[in-house]
Amino acid sequence: MRVIQHLNFDWKFCPDFKEEFISPAYDDSTFGLVQIPHTNKELPYNNFDEKSYQFESCYRKTLHVESYLKGQPAILHFEGVMTYARLFLNGYFVTEHKGGYTPFNVDVSRYLKYGKDNQLVVYVDSRERKEIPPFGYVVDYLTYGGIYREVWMEFTGPVMVENCHVRTRNVLNTEKLLDLDLYLENKTGLNSAITAQCSLMKNDLLVDQFQSVVLLNGELTQQVEIQQKIENVELWDTENPHLYDLVIQLYDNGLLLDKSQYRFGFREVEFRVNGFYLNGQPLKICGLNRHQSFPYVGYAMPKRAQYKDAEILKHELGLNTVRLSHYPQSQHFLDRCDELGLLVFNEIPGWQHIGDKGEWWDITRQHVKEMIRRDWNRPSIFIWGVRINESEDCDELYEMTQRIAKTLDDTRPTGGVRCRKDSHLIEDVYTYNDFVHNGQTRGLDKPESVIGHKAPYLVTEHNGHMFPTKSFDSQEHRLEHALRHLRVLDAMYADDGISGAIGWCMFDYNTHKDFGSGDRICYHGVMDMFRIPKYAAATYAAQQNETPYLQVLSNMRMGDYPGSELSDVHVFTNCEYIKLYKNDQFIETFYPARKQYPHVPNPPIIIDNLIGNLIEENETFSKKDSRLIKEILIEVGRVGIESLPLMSKLKMLYLLKKNRMQLSDGVALYSKYVGGWGDSATTFRIEGYQNNQKVCEQSCLQSFEQRLDVQVDDTALQEEATYDVTRFVVRCVDEGDNVMPYANDVLSISTKGPIEVIGPGHIALVGGGVAFWVKTTGLSGEGLVNISNERFGEVEHRLTVTGRVDLSPHLPSYISPQTVKPQLEALAE
Ligand code: GAL
Q: Which contacts qualify for 375-378: CB closer than 8 Å, 24 or more apart?
A: 375/328, 375/334, 375/346, 376/165, 376/408, 376/409, 377/164, 377/165, 377/166, 377/262, 377/263, 377/264, 378/263, 378/264, 378/334, 378/337, 378/338, 378/344
Where b means 16+ CB within 10 Å and e means fewer, 479-490 reads: bbbbbbbbbbbb
Cβ of 734 less than 6 Å from ligand 1: no
pLDDT in tens, 172-203: 999 999 999 999 999 888 899 999 999 999 99
Cβ of 461 less than 6 Å from ligand 1: yes
140 CA distance to ligand 1 middle (Å) = 7
In terms of domains, do 691 and 714 share one?
no
238 CA distance to ligand 1 middle (Å) = 27
Partners of 204 in the β-ladder:
none
In a domain, 728, yes or no: yes
Examine the fold and report which residue of 701, 727, 749 is the final residue of a domain before the chain moves on: 701
Higher pLDDT, 120 or 826: 120
- In this structure, the residue with its CA closest to atom 9 of ligand 1 is 140
688, 674 Cβ separation under 8 angstroms: no
Q: Which atom of ligand 1 is nearest to the CA of 511?
A: 10
Q: Which atom of ligand 1 is nearest to the CA of 389?
A: 8
**CATH number (domain holding residue 147):** 2.60.120.260
Q: Which atom of ligand 1 is nearest to the CA of 464?
A: 12
Short-list 128, 108, 8, CA closest to 59? 8
* In the predicted structure, residue 412 carries a pLDDT above the cut 50: yes
In terms of domains, do 126 and 210 share one?
no
Tell me the best of 288, 325, 433 to mutate to test the pocket of ligand 1, counting ligand atoms within 8 Å of each CB and taking the most: 433
Say which DSSP state 109 is in. Answer: G
* In the predicted structure, residue 825 carries a pLDDT above the cut 80: no
What pLDDT does 451 receive?
95
Range with the lowest mean pLDDT among 297-311, 391-405, 647-661, 813-827? 813-827
* In the predicted structure, residue 30 carries a pLDDT above the cut 80: yes
In a domain, 815, yes or no: no
Cα–Cα distance between 639 and 634 in angstroms, integer?
9
What average pLDDT does the structure give for the chain?
94
In terms of domains, do 309 and 407 share one?
yes
In terms of domains, do 279 and 353 share one?
yes
Q: What angle do CA 818, 819, 825 make, to 5 degrees?
A: 120
Tell me the best of 137, 504, 509, 512 to mutate to test the pocket of ligand 1, counting ligand atoms within 8 Å of each CB and taking the most: 504
Cα–Cα distance between 645 and 639 in angstroms, integer?
9
Q: What percent of the chain has pLDDT over 70?
A: 97
546, 565 Cβ separation under 8 angstroms: no
- In this structure, the residue with its CA closest to atom 10 of ligand 1 is 140
153, 4 Cβ separation under 8 angstroms: yes
In terms of domains, do 398 and 299 share one?
yes
Cα–Cα distance between 116 and 486 in angstroms, integer?
62
Q: Which atom of ligand 1 is nearest to the CA of 417?
A: 8
What pLDDT does 828 receive?
42
335, 361 Cβ separation under 8 angstroms: no
pLDDT in tens, 269-303: 999 999 999 999 999 999 999 999 999 999 999 99
Cα–Cα distance between 252 and 188 in angstroms, integer?
12
536, 559 Cβ separation under 8 angstroms: no
Q: Which atom of ligand 1 is nearest to the CA of 325?
A: 9
What pLDDT does 812 receive?
37
Count: domains in the chain: 5
* In the predicted structure, residue 519 carries a pLDDT above the cut 90: yes
432 CA distance to ligand 1 middle (Å) = 12
465 CA distance to ligand 1 middle (Å) = 7
Higher pLDDT, 191 or 90: 90
461 CA distance to ligand 1 middle (Å) = 7
Examine the fold and report which residue of 155, 174, 193 is the final residue of a domain before the chain moves on: 155
Maximum Cα–Cα distance across the chain? 108
Say which DSSP state 466 is in. Answer: G
Cα–Cα distance between 773 and 309 in angstroms, integer?
13
Residues with a catalytic annotation lie at: 390, 461
Q: How many CA atoms lie within 13 A of 341 on its CB side?
A: 16
- CB-based contacts of 86, cutoff 8 Å, min separation 6: 93, 95, 96, 122, 123
* In the predicted structure, residue 118 carries a pLDDT above the cut 50: yes
What pLDDT does 305 receive?
98
How large is the average pLDDT for residues 604-624? 92
Cβ of 465 less than 6 Å from ligand 1: yes
Cβ of 389 less than 6 Å from ligand 1: yes
Examine the fold and report which residue of 205, 238, 264 is the final residue of a domain before the chain moves on: 264
Range with the lowest mean pLDDT among 43-52, 125-134, 670-679? 670-679
- CA distance readout (Å), 380 to 173, 408, 807: 20, 17, 36
* In the predicted structure, residue 39 carries a pLDDT above the cut 60: yes
* In the predicted structure, residue 569 carries a pLDDT above the cut 60: yes
In a domain, 731, yes or no: yes
372 CA distance to ligand 1 middle (Å) = 24
In terms of domains, do 149 and 164 share one?
no
Residue 31, classed as helix, strand or coil, is coil
In terms of domains, do 212 and 112 share one?
no
Tell me the best of 419, 465, 517 to mutate to test the pocket of ligand 1, counting ligand atoms within 8 Å of each CB and taking the most: 465
In a domain, 823, yes or no: no
In a domain, 611, yes or no: yes
* In the predicted structure, residue 48 carries a pLDDT above the cut 60: yes
**CATH number (domain holding residue 211):** 2.60.40.10
Range with the lowest mean pLDDT among 199-208, 442-451, 618-627? 618-627
In a domain, 322, yes or no: yes
Cβ of 508 less than 6 Å from ligand 1: no
Answer left, alpha or beta for residue 250, where phi above 0 means left and psi between -120 and 50 means alpha.
Answer: beta
53 CA distance to ligand 1 middle (Å) = 22
In terms of domains, do 147 and 163 share one?
no
In a domain, 214, yes or no: yes
196, 212 Cβ separation under 8 angstroms: yes
Cβ of 433 less than 6 Å from ligand 1: yes
Q: Which atom of ligand 1 is nearest to the CA of 465?
A: 12
Other Cβ atoms less than 10 A from the Cβ of 633: the count is 22
1 pLDDT band (50/70/90 cuts)? low
Cβ of 503 less than 6 Å from ligand 1: no
Partners of 757 in the β-ladder:
774
Cβ of 512 less than 6 Å from ligand 1: no
* In the predicted structure, residue 401 carries a pLDDT above the cut 90: yes
In terms of domains, do 84 and 169 share one?
no
141 CA distance to ligand 1 middle (Å) = 9
In a domain, 553, yes or no: no
- CB-based contacts of 155, cutoff 8 Å, min separation 6: 2, 3, 4, 5, 69, 72, 73, 74, 75
Say which DSSP state 776 is in. Answer: E
Higher pLDDT, 420 or 812: 420
370, 154 Cβ separation under 8 angstroms: no
In terms of domains, do 677 and 570 share one?
yes
162 CA distance to ligand 1 middle (Å) = 37
Q: Which atom of ligand 1 is nearest to the CA of 435?
A: 12
Cα–Cα distance between 499 and 826 in angstroms, integer?
52
Cβ of 390 less than 6 Å from ligand 1: yes
* In the predicted structure, residue 120 carries a pLDDT above the cut 90: yes
* In the predicted structure, residue 396 carries a pLDDT above the cut 80: yes
Residue 578 structural domain: 558-701
**CATH number (domain holding residue 382):** 3.20.20.80
What pLDDT does 818 receive?
40
Tell me the best of 461, 469, 507, 524 to mutate to test the pocket of ligand 1, counting ligand atoms within 8 Å of each CB and taking the most: 461
What pLDDT does 806 receive?
54
How large is the average pLDDT for residues 519-532? 98
* In the predicted structure, residue 817 carries a pLDDT above the cut 70: no
What pLDDT does 827 receive?
44
In terms of domains, do 474 and 525 share one?
yes
- CA distance readout (Å), 796 to 734, 740, 787: 20, 21, 6
What pLDDT does 704 receive?
92
* In the predicted structure, residue 228 carries a pLDDT above the cut 80: yes
Give CA torsion, residues 340, 341, 346, 352, to 10 deg. Answer: -90
In terms of domains, do 794 and 672 share one?
no
pLDDT in tens, 232-255: 999 999 999 999 999 999 999 999
Where b means 16+ CB within 10 Å and e means fewer, 264-294 reads: bbbbbbebeeebbebbeeebbbbbbbbbbbb
Q: What is the amino acid identity at position 395?
A: D
